[in-house]
Every structure is written in structure tokens, then in C-alpha cells.
Amino acid sequence: SQQGEEDPQALSIQEGENATMNCSYKTSINNLQWYRQNSGRGLVHLILIRSNEREKHSGRLRVTLDTSKKSSSLLITASRAADTASYFCATDPIYNQGGKLIFGQGTELSVKP
């Protein structure tokens, strides 16, 4: 079963615009992580937000977490063509052991120059 559901499935924007992706999940979590995947490559970790945090920043990335709504959003500001990739949220449910993550289906972002 998929813990994380992402929205939208695909997003197309112009360079310089902001991109927002959303993730909803079903069970209580220890943390939520966002990953990027360029076409044909492995996933790369972007940012981790703990369950007791509400917002986190890293460069042009801003992540929010609302545990009452079981949702998170990833905002990429001033997007660049190089940001074109698929973005996945991954949750670490409280019931899990061993640091296992459950990945969403991803949002495919296209940034047009």
C-alpha cells in the first residue's frame, strides 16, 4: 500500500516560477523526506523534516509539514531548467523498524527555459 500520495502527478512551469508539490500520508510518522530523481538515475535526498517540525528550508527549497492533516508540501522557488526531475516524498512510519521508508508515486516536474 502507498503511504504517500503526491499531487499533482505532473507539473509544467516556466523558468523563474515557483513549483509546489504536495504529499499526503495515512499513518503517524517519525519523519518525512523528499527525494529528487533525474531521468534514468537513482534518487537523491533533498531534505528531511521531523514530525515535531513545521517548516524547513534548504537553499531554494522550503518544506512544510502539517501532522494534523497528515500532509507536506515542497516548494521550489525561482525554478531552473535543471530542476526538471521527478520528486518523491517518503515517510518513516512510527510503526516501522529499521528505518524503512514508504515512497509516494512522485510528481514529475518540467521546467521550461
Binding site for other proteins (CB under 8 A): 1-2, 4, 30-31, 33, 40-45, 48, 50, 88, 90, 92, 97-106
Task: Give Dmax over CA atoms of the chain in angstroms.
Answer: 43
d(CA 4, CA 82): 25
- Shortest Å distance, C-beta 113 to other proteins: 26
d(CA 64, CA 46): 13
- In the complex with other proteins, the residue whose CB is nearer, 1 or 68, is 1
- In the complex with other proteins, the residue whose CB is nearer, 76 or 106, is 106
- In the complex with other proteins, the residue whose CB is nearer, 14 or 38, is 38
- Shortest Å distance, C-beta 99 to other proteins: 5
- Shortest Å distance, C-beta 10 to other proteins: 11
- CB contact set of 85 (below 8 Å; sequence gap of 6+): 36, 37, 38, 39, 109
- In the complex with other proteins, the residue whose CB is nearer, 42 or 113, is 42
Exposed / middle / buried, residue 99 (Cβ in 10 Å: 0-12, 13-18, 19+) = exposed
